[in-house]
């Protein structure tokens, strides 16, 4: 037991010593002993700049069957995966019981809406008829008022005035006769031909006639000065009131008709809305049965999306709840295939459309398939970005050059994008290169020590980096350069700056021009 503990502690001490030695080597600087540091000897050789990513095989031409039923529903029938189907075959049947109940309720609503619509039509007809009747009556009342005014001015008043004048004339004549009779009676009374009583009767008659004349004149003055003005004002007021009543009737009639029209329009819209909802429910019920739109091989969407953590979903099966617009089945319509991969943003600058690709399928060992980069997503994958905000990958599609029946949708694959290939160049491990003052720098052995040397580099394949200029065959490069040196601030070109001449190496702009020429 003690021997085992001693062995463990001894081993831990040795490992700790080695770690401290390596750490000291990385942080020491140019004084590192060449005999003790891990190094790499520069020599020419073949170098392939590539990117290798895992992906999934997808059909290039395929029909995507989606759930078009709103909300959530469950699968009650699902065709087995891998079946070869013909156009019109039943693929999926969804639970329609809730939709059937809703459809019955909606049919009742449609009937009520139709009854309300018919009632609104009749109400509009009644409102229009009543409006016409009320306006006609108001017009007739106004016409009668105008006629009454004209009749009074040109008929009733002249007649009343003439009657009053006639009564005055008659009263004057009767007064004149009464006065002549009284005068004659006084003469006869003076000569004792008539009695005093007869004379008094004639005097009384003369006074009565005078009073009748005065009363007739008063009636005429009352007619001219009061009755005429009052009746004329009353007739004119009746005309104005009839005109205003006509205007009110017209406005009310228009309002009633407009209200009835609005009610009819609303009822019509409601009737149409309820019918549209019924039609929608009927269509939803029809969509619970999904038929094959073309001949093809049944592939579940969950199987085709099985690659990567973001597609780890429950396999499609009967009884499963699905949502609207969810992809259910893929029906490949051709043998052509794509490989879909996700490229990290660090490698995105290396990859361009049209680059050659070598694809190996896990299910087909020993076989390689050639292809090319066809499409790179302009934005990072949202699902991956949501799950890990620090991880930005771009979905990239690879077109395979040849069709092969052995390749099936959903198969896992390895995709190697060949960016550049060299037969005889110098290269060093990527960990040997530091950025010092903005220049790529490696530490090269010089005697028993290492000294920094600026180099010109090309692309890397995450393991080796192409060295265009700055090294020669046989140079010994430090694999653990001092990290502290990489923290030197960048300086503008001066007497102490390292000048690196142009070597004619293919820059990114040149590569892009070359790629465009190829396209």
- CA-CA distance, 474 to 44, in Å (whole number)? 9
Q: How confident is the model at residue 106 (pLDDT cuts 50, 70, 90)?
A: very high
Q: Are 65 and 91 in contact (CB under 8 A)?
A: yes
For the stretch 384-440, pLDDT in tens is: 777 788 888 999 999 998 888 788 877 889 999 998 888 889 999 999 999 888 889
Closest CA to 494 of 441, 438, 456, 450: 438
Q: Note the pLDDT of residue 283.
A: 94
Q: Would you say the C-alpha torsion 422, 428, 434, 439 has a positive or negative sign?
A: negative
Give the chain's length.
519
Cα of 301 vs its chain's centroid, Å:
27
Cα of 57 vs its chain's centroid, Å:
34
Higher-confidence residue of 152 and 264: namely 264
Q: Note the pLDDT of residue 193.
A: 78
Q: Cα angle at 409 between 405 and 412, to 5 degrees? A: 105
Looking at residues 310-326, what average pLDDT do you find? 80
Q: Note the pLDDT of residue 305.
A: 65
Q: Cα angle at 485 between 480 and 490, to 5 degrees? A: 140
Q: Note the pLDDT of residue 35.
A: 61
pLDDT of residue 497 exceeding 60, the answer is no
Q: Note the pLDDT of residue 15.
A: 55
User: Has this prediction a pTM greater than 0.75?
Assistant: no
Quick one: what percent of the chain has pLDDT higher than 70?
A: 85
DSSP 367: -
Quick one: what percent of the chain has pLDDT higher than 90?
A: 40
Looking at residues 162-189, what average pLDDT do you find? 82
Looking at residues 233-243, what average pLDDT do you find? 88
Q: How confident is the model at residue 9 (pLDDT cuts 50, 70, 90)?
A: very low
Higher-confidence residue of 184 and 491: namely 184
pLDDT of residue 309 exceeding 50, the answer is no
3-state secondary structure 389-452: CCCCEEEEEEEECCCCCCCCCCCEEEEEEEEEEEEEEEEEEHHHCEEECCEEEEEEEECCEEEE
DSSP 316: P
Q: Are 341 and 52 in contact (CB under 8 A)?
A: no
Number of H helices, E strands in the chain: 9, 22
Looking at residues 1-30, what average pLDDT do you find? 44
Q: How confident is the model at residue 313 (pLDDT cuts 50, 70, 90)?
A: low
- CA-CA distance, 32 to 18, in Å (whole number)? 15
Q: Note the pLDDT of residue 477.
A: 92
Q: Note the pLDDT of residue 487.
A: 59
Q: Would you say the C-alpha torsion 321, 325, 326, 329 has a positive or negative sign?
A: positive
30-34, 47-51, 268-272, 284-288: least confident range: 30-34
- CA-CA distance, 302 to 20, in Å (whole number)? 50
Looking at residues 177-182, what average pLDDT do you find? 82
Q: How confident is the model at residue 14 (pLDDT cuts 50, 70, 90)?
A: very low
The β-bridge partners of 389 are: none
Domain at 27-49+422-518: CATH architecture: Beta Barrel (2.40)
Buried b (16+ CB within 10 A) or exposed e, 200-236: eebeebbeebbebbeebbebbeebeeebbeebeeebe
Q: Note the pLDDT of residue 118.
A: 94
Q: Cα angle at 128 between 127 and 131, to 5 degrees? A: 85
- CA-CA distance, 158 to 192, in Å (whole number)? 50
pLDDT of residue 58 exceeding 70, the answer is yes
Q: Note the pLDDT of residue 457.
A: 92
Q: Are 328 and 290 in contact (CB under 8 A)?
A: yes
Question: Could you state, in order of their start, the residue ranges of all structural domains in the chain?
Answer: 27-49+422-518, 62-95+288-333, 99-285
pLDDT of residue 5 exceeding 70, the answer is no
DSSP 134: H
29-33, 71-75, 82-86, 303-307: least confident range: 29-33
Between helices 157-190 and 196-222, what is the axis angle to 10°? 160
- CB atoms closer than 10 angstroms to residue 497: 14
CATH 2.40.50.100 fits 62-95+288-333, yes or no: yes
Q: Are 79 and 331 in contact (CB under 8 A)?
A: no
Higher-confidence residue of 108 and 2: namely 108
pLDDT of residue 157 exceeding 60, the answer is yes
For the stretch 504-517, pLDDT in tens is: 334 434 444 434 43
Report domain 99-285's class: mainly alpha
Q: What are the backbone angles phi and psi of residue 387, rounded to the nearest 5°?
A: -75, -30
Distances (CA, A) of 61 to 58, 303, 395, 402, 445: 9, 17, 18, 14, 57
Closest CA to 415 of 48, 50, 54: 54
Closest CA to 280 of 109, 77, 92, 64: 109
Q: How confident is the model at residue 316 (pLDDT cuts 50, 70, 90)?
A: confident
Higher-confidence residue of 513 and 445: namely 445
Q: Note the pLDDT of residue 57.
A: 86
Q: Which residues make Cβ contacts (< 8 Å) with residue 427, sequence separation at least 6?
A: 45, 47, 464, 465, 466, 467
Closest CA to 317 of 303, 307, 305, 306: 303
């Amino acid at each position: 037991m003690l021997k085992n503990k001693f062995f463990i502690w001894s081993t831990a001490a040795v490992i700790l010593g080695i770690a401290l030695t390596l750490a000291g080597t990385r942080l020491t600087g140019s004084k590192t002993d060449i005999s003790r540091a891990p190094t790499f000897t520069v020599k020419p050789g073949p170098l392939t700049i590539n990117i290798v990513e895992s992906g999934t095989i997808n059909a290039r031409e395929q029909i995507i069957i989606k759930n078009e039923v709103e909300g959530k529903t469950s699968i009650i029938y699902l065709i087995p995966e891998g079946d070869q189907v013909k156009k019109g075959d039943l693929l999926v049947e969804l639970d329609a019981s809730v939709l059937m109940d809703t459809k019955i309720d909606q049919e009742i609503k449609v009937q009520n809406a139709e009854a309300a619509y018919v009632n609104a039509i009749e109400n509009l007809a009644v409102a229009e008829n009543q409006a016409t009747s009320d306006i006609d009556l108001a017009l007739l009342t106004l016409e009668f008022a105008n006629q009454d005014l004209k009749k009074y001015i040109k008929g009733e008043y002249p007649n009343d005035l003439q009657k009053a004048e006639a009564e005055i004339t008659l009263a004057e004549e009767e007064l004149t006769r009464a006065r002549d009779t009284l005068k004659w009676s006084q003469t006869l009374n003076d000569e004792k031909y008539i009695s005093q009583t007869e004379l008094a009767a004639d005097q009384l008659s003369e006074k009565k006639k005078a009073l009748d004349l005065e009363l007739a004149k008063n009636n005429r003055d009352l007619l001219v000065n009061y009755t005429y003005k009052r009746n004329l004002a009353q007739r004119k007021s009746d005309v104005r009131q009839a005109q205003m009543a006509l205007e009110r009737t017209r406005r009310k009639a228009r309002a009633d008709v407009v209200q009835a029209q609005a009610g009819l329009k609303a009822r019509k819209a409601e009737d149409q809305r309820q019918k549209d909802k019924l039609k929608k429910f009927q269509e939803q019920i029809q969509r619970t049965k999904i038929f094959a739109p073309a001949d093809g091989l049944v592939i579940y969407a969950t199987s085709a999306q099985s690659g990567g953590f973001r597609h780890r979903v429950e396999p499609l099966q009967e009884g499963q709840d699905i949502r609207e617009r969810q992809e259910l089945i893929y029906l490949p319509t051709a043998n052509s295939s794509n490989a879909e991969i996700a490229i990290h943003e660090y490698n995105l600058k290396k990859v361009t459309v049209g680059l050659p690709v070598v694809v190996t399928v896990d299910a087909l060992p020993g076989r390689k398939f050639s292809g090319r980069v066809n499409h790179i997503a302009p934005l990072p994958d949202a699902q991956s970005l949501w799950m890990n905000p620090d991880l930005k990958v771009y979905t990239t599609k690879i077109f395979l050059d040849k069709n092969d029946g052995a390749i099936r949708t959903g198969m896992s694959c390895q995709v190697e994008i060949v960016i550049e290939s060299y037969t005889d160049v110098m290269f060093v491990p990527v960990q040997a290169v530091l950025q010092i003052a903005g220049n790529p720098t490696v530490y090269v052995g010089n005697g028993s020590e290492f000294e920094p040397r600026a180099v010109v580099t090309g692309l890397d394949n995450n393991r080796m980096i192409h060295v265009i200029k700055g090294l020669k065959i046989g140079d010994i490069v430090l694999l653990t350069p001092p990290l502290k040196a990489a923290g030197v601030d960048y300086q503008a070109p001066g007497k102490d700056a390292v000048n690196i001449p142009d070597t004619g190496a293919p820059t990114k702009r040149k590569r892009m021009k070359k790629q465009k020429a190829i396209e």
